Structure 1
Amino acid sequence: MAAGTLTHLSPLDPKSPEPYYRQIYGRFRNAIASGTLNPGDRIPSARALTQELGLARGTIDAAYGLLAAEGYIQARGQAGTVVSPSLRPRMPVAREQPAPAARPYTPSFRPDSILPFQMGLPALDVFPRKIWARLGARAARAMQPIDMTHPAVPGLPALRAGIAAYLHVSRGIDCAPSQVFLTSGYRHTLELVAQALLKPADRVWFENPGYPPTRELLAAMRLAGVAVPVDAEGLVVAEGLRLAPKARAAVVTPAHQSPLCVSLSLPRRLALLDWARRNQSWIVEDDYDGEYRYASRPLPALKSLDRDGRVIYAGTFSKVLFPSLRLAYLVVPEAQVERFERTQAMFAGGSPQLTQAIVADFIAEGHFARHIQRMRRLYAERRDATRIGLERVLGAKVRIDEQPGGMHLILRLQGRRSDRRLVARMREEGLFAEALTDWAVDRDIAPALMVAFTNVDSTATAERLARRILPLM
């Protein structure tokens, strides 16, 4: 088949419950199996196929990625993409499988892709890669044999000290480096807290709506999660006291509630701390993007108000640097340091020491603080640009929440529309969104889309993306 034609591929079916990328994958697979495409034949480039079919580039990339993963095709750089020469010619025709029934969309936390509006990704286009590469090369050259042995379990001392100093200035947390423990991400952080402080069947408050992996992790660790509602002032502490007054812990996002982006009010912060003190319970403060507040200066962390040693502060580099670092941290009360040291030694699973050394230098040389400041300004601009662009095209169909901070927008759907169905259709077209109703448990909540603005570079880009959403609504 000539690289620029699709003569031997049957047309795509827009009414099929099967996503476009699966339809494309199936048509190429069957063409190869039937001998219509032979080993070594060149197939259209992803760019050419995007133009030919009028689909999103991400849809074509997903189909080609699946074909390559299963050995049907090979990419050969400038020579293009070809049917794998190692395949036997004229294989038996694969029996066409019936299209799978449509399934409810469940969000992926998080997909290994870069899609428009994708949640959980910082502005990757402006990350200072040259500085990072220089620091990485220097750290690799400076490695000594001792650096190649087993790393310190709680984390690299230089990085622990850098995090403690940064938190003191930026988040109002007075802690020693010994109180900082490095982990490989939020899941590892929560697991470490549970192993150190909780036991199976302990009741734990979590926010409703709230970050879905939290409740999934609690269930996996055999903890009894208690869904506590959230309103305009954050976690409704009075409801938590009514539902489970003797709970052993609470997992909260005080700076920007995930996903509603509201801030936990001061009266509720004090009530939560008072409950933890009186009940000898623990508060896990997930401060996943507390640096990004645009209406005023970032709010001090809940941990900064803790006078009784009941708050465990959890932070991450995924949102402020990039997710593939797999690097997060927690700050524990001074009285719990020894317990966490023993627990982490038993369940160690941190990040590579070389990665930690690069991050430590990035902080020590001031690049981290400058990067946060630049991102705060940039995100304020991109948030406004995205909101304006979406409202110009979708204004009659959505209402966008006013939010003081965070890294995503909430688009409230007007009329009787399913956010889950719309999210599924957007994903088929190579666009990302998450359904707010997927984040709620046993609670009626108005349908809404959650879309990130961090990688939307202008109002024009937002309008162009909105025009792709409009026919799907």
Structure 2
Amino acid sequence: MSKEETFQDLSLNPPSGEQDLWRWLYTELRGAILDGRLKPGTRMPSTRSLGAQYSLSRGTVVVAFDQLQAEGYTRTEVGSGTYVASGVPDAFLSPTRKPATVALPSSKAAFPKRTKEFLKGVEVLPASHTIGKAFRTYEPAIDLFPVDLWARVASRVLRRAPRSLYGHGAAAGYQPLRRAIAEYVGASRGVHCSAEQIIVTSGTQQALDLIGRFLLATGDRVWMEDPGYSGALQTLRTSGARIVPIPVDEDGLIVSAGRRLASKAKLAYVTPANQFPMGVTMSADRRLDLLRWATNANAWIIEDDYDAEYRYSGRPVAALQALDSSGCVIYVGTFTKMLFNALRLGFMVLPERLVEAFASARTFVDRHPPTLDQAILAEFITEGHFGHHLRRMRQIYAERIEVLKTAADEHLDGLVDVVRAGAGVRTLGWLKTWKSDHDAAQQARKFGLEVEPLSLFTTKYNRPPALMLGFAGCTSAELRRGVSLLATALRSH
């Protein structure tokens, strides 16, 4: 057995600043072990003697020794003492030793081709460091969200929540929230459902992912509106589906074109209340025609009702699901656009025969949605705050599109023809002097504007150049400033 190390010749740097003494001692001893100054098998001094040598309390030394032993740097023999372990966990990290490696050829492991192709089209949105910039398309009026009210509801829910809410949640979602959603979509959108048909998701993207994974087989054909929502296209494509672009006109998706191009498709994705990005409403005849096709083809329809509550003339049109008597429509909604982006909660209204399978699928993906967030949202809805907020935002957004349209008519005349949107949180500006909306968008971004070209959402059927302009999240002053900057940007090139 090697003799006890007296530490007379071991250099330990004195602690500096407000560093914990036990952590200082632990770090110094760990470093001495790793760089070989304390050899394997060396007996450590007693905690009393080491404490006396460095003016440390015995308790401080004991804590440092316990940490070293817990991490495998030392071992204790009863009745004998503490020794440096022979197998040090970080031995290969020693700064004085060359790391031990095995000569291997460079790994050629890589993404499969399908993944690389998919990732090319994915836009990763940055974390929000500002809000309300012109003309951000994906942001509601966060500046007007009743944060204090939400905080009071959240505080009350968290104070009163039973301990069971901190445990494992239901895969389909928190039952009171499912009831609240069923009542809301029934009253406001005409959706026929019970709470048991609701599956709570982490937003629209997760709903689309679940549908693609579990209802589509590799090679199945899917009708996709063109132009249409690229997030849906990318998500469904990852399931191995073959996307079939279907043109859109003033009455929405052209069902006859879908029949001609892929009559045996397994699924159709549509935004009938407010087509993304054209902003048209699917006519009643088209809705019935689409339902007849799906029934005869044994196909599914995804109805993405992302912002249908925001209609600025008349009442919101009823959901397509309200006309479905065959059980082929999967209704998808989200609270992100209606409340705030950070609230990653959405839902699906499923035909009854799919509910059990999708609850299992939800478990497979991420077990269950966050229960406490669901409980807060359920209270926010049932107490009437959600409905009040929607009514207020509908009025505010109607005012903001008028501000945008008026400012555009004044400053963008001859450059851009901005559409007075009848619904939603964004609109289109048709370019008059630019042949490429991609180039126009790039030019606008140089002036700090957040615009998106319409061509970004087209797959096969090209449209005249246009820019997508969000107005919901911008104050009137920011909208006017944005229009002025856009005019300067488009004229300066």
Asked if Structure 1 and Structure 2 have the same fold, meaning a TM-score greater than 0.5 normalized by the shorter chain, the answer is: yes
SS of 2:222 mapped into structure 1: strand
One-letter code aligned to 1:168: G
Counterpart selection for 1:464 from 468, 481, 484: 481
CA distance in 1, matches of 2:125, 2:349: 25
CA distance in 1, matches of 2:455, 2:399: 28
Maintained 8 Å contact 2:213/2:239: no
SS of 2:377 mapped into structure 1: helix
Counterpart selection for 1:394 from 396, 403, 412: 412
1:374 paired to 2:392: yes
Q: Give 4+ residue runs of structure 1 displaced > 3 Å after superposition.
A: 105-111, 348-351
TM-score (norm 1): 0.75
Counterpart selection for 1:255 from 268, 273, 286: 273
Maintained 8 Å contact 2:405/2:420: no
One-letter code aligned to 2:475: D
* Matching residue of 1:174: 192
Deviation larger for 332-341 or 309-318: 332-341
Counterpart selection for 1:121 from 98, 122, 139: 139
Maintained 8 Å contact 1:106/1:438: no
Question: CA offset at residue 193 of structure 1?
Answer: 1.4
Maintained 8 Å contact 1:184/1:350: no
User: Residues 386 and 106 (structure 1 numbering): CA distance in 2 closer, same or farther, change over 3 Å?
Assistant: farther
One-letter code aligned to 1:145: R
| Count of aligned residue pairs for this structure pair | 368
SS of 1:204 mapped into structure 2: strand
Counterpart selection for 1:139 from 146, 157, 170: 157
CA distance in 2, matches of 1:106, 1:393: 34
* Matching residue of 2:46: none
Where do 1:306-325 residues align within 5 Å?
306-325=324-343
Structure 1: gaps of 5 or more residues: 1-104
RMSD: 1.6
Question: CA offset at residue 419 of structure 1?
Answer: 1.4
1:112 paired to 2:130: no
Where do 1:17-32 residues align within 5 Å?
none
CA distance in 2, matches of 1:345, 1:195: 13
User: Residues 431 and 192 (structure 1 numbering): CA distance in 2 closer, same or farther, change over 3 Å?
Assistant: same
SS of 1:294 mapped into structure 2: coil
CA distance in 1, matches of 2:489, 2:320: 41
Q: Deviations over 1:49-89 (max 9, x none)?
A: xxxxxxxxxxxxxxxxxxxxxxxxxxxxxxxxxxxxxxxxx
CA distance in 2, matches of 1:350, 1:224: 30
One-letter code aligned to 1:368: F
SS of 1:226 mapped into structure 2: strand
CA distance in 1, matches of 2:299, 2:235: 19
Counterpart selection for 1:210 from 228, 251, 255: 228
Question: CA offset at residue 151 of structure 1?
Answer: 1.2
TM-score (norm 2): 0.72
CA distance in 1, matches of 2:328, 2:438: 38
Q: Deviations over 1:256-284 (max 9, x none)?
A: 00000100010000000000111111000
One-letter code aligned to 1:289: D
CA distance in 1, matches of 2:478, 2:166: 46
Maintained 8 Å contact 2:134/2:479: no
SS of 1:442 mapped into structure 2: coil
CA distance in 2, matches of 1:147, 1:295: 42
Percent identity, please: 40
Greater gyration radius = 2
User: Residues 150 and 120 (structure 1 numbering): CA distance in 2 closer, same or farther, change over 3 Å?
Assistant: same
Q: Deviations over 1:12-62 (max 9, x none)?
A: xxxxxxxxxxxxxxxxxxxxxxxxxxxxxxxxxxxxxxxxxxxxxxxxxxx
CA distance in 2, matches of 1:392, 1:258: 27
Maintained 8 Å contact 1:262/1:403: no
1:244 paired to 2:259: no
